[in-house]
Amino acid sequence: MPHIVTAFDDDLMMIQARISEMGGLAEELLAQALEAVEKRDAALAERVIARDKRIDELEIEVEEAATQLIALRQPMAKDLRVLISALKISTTLERIGDLAKNIAKRAIVVTKHGPVKLTSSIIRMGRSTQAQLSQVLNAYTARDTDAAVAVWQRDVEVDEMYNALFRELLTYMMEDSRMITAGAQMLFIAKNLERIGDHTTHISEMVYYIQKGEPLGDDRPKGEPVGLDAE
């Protein structure tokens, strides 16, 4: 049902449109950063780094618009939840943009070294992360709680891929010390993807909060982190 004051609806829609734009951009940057890693394309990586600025700008726009709307219209109940979530999601998407940018930076370093065997595993993990992000953004637009919870639960798969990669990369670097520089970069890329997965679950939680008015909780299935115990 629309608000009696239609300008209120316009403002709310504007903010959600900005979030959608940020989401689309974050997806694209992640896809291109992965492509830069896969195709060893430094020029593409540079473009990703440059375009991350737009996400930062959008985050500020969302923040300003949301602050103004809270001050001027005193939103209540679901409107308030939509706004609080918009603030948190925009920060999350900005972080995802930063991580994509960081992957792109590392892609540039990696291209200066010889090809790394495990690139295809990283790309596979990246595609899963990308699919998760894309699905949670669709869930946000459609306000689909079930889809959001499904993404939230599936993050454990990304965690497990990360753990497997971690072990493989360690083994690989031990076998051939010339690969340590590239391998270390790959480790960070994998870690960035794992972080993007976590941020994606945060967006799931926001979708749930908007719809249900209560937190989703924190008993999300998680992969056991490796490398923390003395192996």
Is residue 2 a contact residue for other proteins (CB under 8 A)?
A: yes
CB of 2 to other proteins, least distance (A): 7
- Nearer CB in complex with other proteins: 81/117: 81
Residues 177-206 that bind other proteins (CB under 8 A): none
How far apart, in whole angstroms, are the C-alpha atoms of residue 32 and residue 41?
A: 10
Binding footprint of other proteins, residue count (CB under 8 A): 17
Determine contact, residues 130/151, Cβ cutoff 8 Å: no
Using the rule CB under 8 A, which residue among 5, 142, 174, 180 binds other proteins?
Answer: 5
Residues 150-179 that bind other proteins (CB under 8 A): none
CB of 196 to other proteins, least distance (A): 30
Residue type, 130: Q
144-to-12, 79, 150 alpha-carbon distances in Å: 19, 17, 10
CB of 113 to other proteins, least distance (A): 51
Which residue shows structure tokens 């992965």?
34
Q: Residues 67-106 vs other proteins: string with x where CB under 8 A?
A: ------xxxxxxxxx-------------------------
* CA 10, 12, 15, 20 torsion-angle sign: negative
Which residue shows structure tokens 């493989």?
168
Is residue 215 a contact residue for other proteins (CB under 8 A)?
A: no
**In b/e form, how buried is each residue of 149-163, taking b as 16+ CB within 10 angstroms?**
bebbebbbbbbebbb
Residues in contact with other proteins by the rule CB under 8 A: 1-5, 8, 73-81, 213-214
